[in-house]
Amino acid sequence: MSAEIDELLVSLKTLAEQQDWQALGQMDERVREVVSRACAEENRNVPELNAKIAQLQALYRQVIGQVEAGRSETAKDATQARRQLNAARSYLDNARK
């Protein structure tokens, strides 16, 4: 099970680097299933599993940070575009007078 979690970590890191948010969202259910199965195993290595889960949590925090930064940047760009549009409209209105 540890190998499967390692594979997920690699895939998630790659998708995060590519900023493929849709694919990351689709992998979320798989991550939950794999972690649930790993936690349910009788012969699990608890310290190793805890370490893997901590890595997944850190990666999720990183992805959330990237998404929030992207959202903030998009909002900033939209605000700037709206201001430029309003300035252009004002200019055109004044030029017609």
Query: What are the tens digits of pLDDT across the range 36-48?
Result: 999 999 889 999 9
Provide the 8-state DSSP code for 45: -
pLDDT confidence bin for 14, thresholds 50/70/90: very high
* Residue 1 confidence (pLDDT) above 80: no
Question: For the purposes of burial, counting CB atoms within 10 Å of the CB of 44, is it exposed (0-12), middle (13-18) or buried (19 or more)?
Answer: middle
Q: Read off the amino acid at residue 80.
A: Q
Are residues 59 and 9 in contact, defined by beta-carbon separation less than 8 angstroms? Answer: yes
Q: Read off the amino acid at residue 74.
A: T
pLDDT score at 70:
86
Q: Residue holding tokens 């972690």? A: 35
Q: What number is the average pLDDT over the span 23-52?
A: 93
* Residue 50 confidence (pLDDT) above 90: yes
pLDDT score at 93:
85
Helices (H), the chain: 2-18, 21-40, 46-96
pLDDT score at 94:
87
